[in-house]
Structure 1
Amino acid sequence: MKSSRLLSILLLLQTRGRMTAAQLAAELEVSVRTVYRDVEALHTAGVPLYGDAGHRGGYELLAGYRTRLTGLSAGEAEALFLTALPGPAAELGLGPAVAGARLKLRAALPPALREQADRMSRRFHLDAPGWYARDDDVPFLPAVADAVWRGRVLDVHYRRWTAPTDVERRLEPYGLVLKAGRWYVVAARPGGSGPRTYRVDQILRLTVTDEECAVPDGFDLAAYWREYQRDFHARLHRGEALVRLSPRGVSRLTGAARAAAGSGTVEPDGWTRTVVPVESADDAHDRFLALGADVEVLAPPELRARLAATARLLAERYAAEPPARPVILPESQQSSP
């Protein structure tokens, strides 16, 4: 463990530059005293590592020093191959680069690790989009990615859900996010209040300008996305419905409704009484109607009344025989006028 930790200190300093003992301790999940001992061990081994005291101090490798050791374990080598996403990489225009990097990494691995990495690639495949999700056409994705990377302002013609649907926007891109097979660009409008989220497949026209932009100091894309998802779900489920569900009905629920059913009360007849979140009256009506006889809505009363009205209409429709369809004879059997 100690040799692995010493190598980790070398690689951290090599990739991040100066770091304090506290920062190294937090990264390695050890005490500061342990870091002091490890640094002394590296000094003894002849590693050109020096440290400065004070508020702006820390440990740093001598300029130009780099270790050729990677210290890849079997699990780390497997993880590198498992995280390769050729589909998204190709969409970003990085397919050849990813393939080249995988080839070089594979060639650099010792035979034993190479075999384990190859087995991981053969036995695991990640396909993120859902079964019923269509492939979005994202012709401007490489251009957006290039603007994100180079820090260039975008002029876009964008289609949104609310009127007016088609709008012109000038955007300062902060980053790209791939969620459930769909690409989003997080960007701010010059002079705006902060970043917003835009679907890349809803960009109808795009011009990458020569105007430079920079991501604000302290902006964390992953943290922004976590907060955006929390806000999205809070806005999504604004209502509630009290329902009873058969065991089959519970098994057919998904998402937040499935989680709510798990904390419900199972009644003597085996049905579960619970409160489930709903997005809107229309969405709740359609979702509960799809469960058929496996759900009974108890409240709110307006939703129950609406479902009852729909059930009556369906009962009337299916009580009568369907209208006879006209018989169309083949052309050869039709009589001449």
Structure 2
Amino acid sequence: MRASRLVSLLLLLQNRGRMSAARLAAELGVTPRTVYRDVEALAAAGVPIYAEGGPAGGYQLMDGYRTRLTGLTEDEAGSLFLTGLPQPAAELGLGAQVAAAELKLMAALPTPYRDASVRIRQRFHLDAPGWYREADPVPQLLAAAEALWQDQVVEVRYRRWSPTPGVVTRRLHPLGLVLKAGVWYLVAGPRPRTYRVGNIEELRALDEHFTRPAGFDLADFWRVHVERYEDNEDGETALVRLSAAGIAALPDILGPRAARLAERTLEPADGEGRQRAKIPLESVPHAAAGLLRLGADAQVLAPAELVAHMGKTIRAMARLYPCGEDG
């Protein structure tokens, strides 16, 4: 562990130049005292490292010194696909490997390419979750990832919303993990389907392995799945009763996909000028959050779990805003 940390410290100074002990400690996840000891160890090993005092001081390498100790470990190489995605990497337990892999790649690049890489990193950043939306709690993500690496059969207790809401038990063959708009999904066989990782209540790896389907391509599967999901009226849906204003607001409030599905499923207007339609149901809390933004322009009719959730939330809100005699 210390040898790996010494290499990381060396590469940090090589890639970024002068750094204070506090900054190095933060990058390496250790205390400044540990950094002092590591610097002494590098100097004793012949690395031309020195310190400069003052507010802008810190440790740095002699000009022109470069190390070639940049070989990637197996774990670091396997984590390369998550470079630039620190939060997902951390959720998968790969944060340290990603950081080390990035350092080693930077150190191995010729100077012009390394400078270009730094410029890109300074100017572009990918933030996966949507606005005002916290990432799903995914306590089973690490267990799912471990089974995925090992091609291991798992047994899960999964909370689903339709066709019959409740918790079901499934034996699955993990084929891939996908991060979509801040939400993790598990793609699993034997017949490939998708499962929201946040809805997995329990996951147990079995003492049994499976053979991945020949020719299975995760990216291709996901692309087809998304296309079918967005065009499928038979997926998980909620039945709502909408005013004309509610229908017009759907693209902005619930997104283009919900608006397209609602438009295709609109029923004739009733006596109050409202129309029934279906909208996608990713989960009860997620659907309720969007529908509440429509206010009185939307009335949920089904499923019962969503109706109950809406009623409970609205009653709680009413207690916060009691109406007066004229209300």
Normalised by the length of structure 2, the TM-score is 0.50
Structure 1 residue 115 and structure 2 residue 112: aligned? no
Aligned position for 2:154:
154
Cα separation, partners in 2 of 1:291 and 1:98, compared to 1, 3 Å = same
Give the drift of 1:149.
1.4
Listed as ranges, the matches of 1:98-247 within 5 Å are 98-162=98-162, 163=164, 165-189=166-190, 194-233=191-230, 234-235=232-233
3-state SS in 1 of match to 2:142: helix
In the superposition, relative to structure 1, how do residues 251 and 242 fare at CA in structure 2: closer, same or farther (>3 Å)?
Answer: closer
Alpha-carbon distance, 1:95 to partner: 0.8
Counterpart position of 2:294: 290
Shift of 1:256: 3.9
One-letter amino acid of the structure 2 residue matched with residue 219 of structure 1 = F
Is the CA contact (8 Å cut-off) linking 2:82 and 2:88 kept in structure 1? no
Amino acid of the structure 1 residue aligned with 2:226: Q
Work out the number of aligned pairs and report it.
201
1:164 CA drift (Å) = 5.4
Return the alpha-carbon distance in structure 1 between the equivalents of residues 156 and 292 of structure 2: 40
Q: Which runs of 5+ in 1 are unaligned?
A: 1-79, 261-276, 294-320, 326-337
The Cα shift of 1:132 comes to 3.0
Alpha-carbon distance between aligned partners in 2 of 1:180 and 1:153, rounded to the nearest angstrom: 27
Measure how far apart 1:86 and its partner are. 1.0
Tell me how far 1:115 sits from its aligned partner: 1.8
Any unmatched runs of 5+ in structure 2? 1-79, 262-276, 281-286, 298-322
**What's 1:87 paired with?**
87
How big is the shift at 1:238? 10
1:87 counterpart letter in structure 2: Q
Letter in 2 for 1:231: R
The separation in 2 between residues aligned to 1:204 and 1:244, in whole angstroms, is 39
Contact 2:83–2:98 (CA under 8 A) maintained in structure 1: no
Alpha-carbon shift at residue 184 of structure 1 (Å): 0.9
* 4+ residue segments displaced more than 3 Å: 80-83, 236-239, 241-245, 248-254, 256-260, 286-289
| 8 Å contact from structure 1 (residues 81, 121) kept in 2 | no
Q: State how far apart, in whole Å, the 2-side matches of 1:167 and 1:81 are.
A: 33
TM-superposed deviation, 1:250: 9.5
Tell me what 2:301 maps to.
none
Describe the superposition over 1:75-109 as per-residue Cα deviations: whole angstroms up to 9, x where unpaired: xxxxx999621111111111111111100011111
- SS of the counterpart of 2:101? helix
CA separation of 1:258 and 1:118: change in aligned 2, threshold 3 A: farther
Deviations 1:88-143 (A, max 9, x none): 11111111111111000111112222222112212222111111322211122122
- In structure 2, the partner of 1:69 is none
2 CA distance for matches of 1:182 and 1:81? 18
* 1:183-235 alpha-carbon deviations (Å, 9 max, x no partner): 1111125xxxx111111111112211221112111222222212221221122
Partner of 1:266: none
Residue 324 of structure 2 corresponds to: 322
Q: Which has the larger radius of gyration?
A: 1
The structural deviation recorded for 1:279 is 2.1
> 1:164 and 1:287, CA in 2 relative to 1: closer, same or farther beyond 3 A?
closer
Alignment RMSD, CA only? 4.3
Q: Which amino acid aligns with 2:324?
A: P
Report the TM-score, using the length of structure 1 for normalisation.
0.49
Identity %: 45
Supply the distance in 2 between the matched residues of 1:250 and 1:290 (Cα, whole angstroms): 8
Q: Deviation digits for residues 47-86 of structure 1, max 9, x if unmatched?
A: xxxxxxxxxxxxxxxxxxxxxxxxxxxxxxxxx9996211
Conservation of the 8 A alpha-carbon contact between 1:183 and 1:199: yes
Instruction: Say which SS state the counterpart of residue 223 (structure 1) adopts.
Output: helix
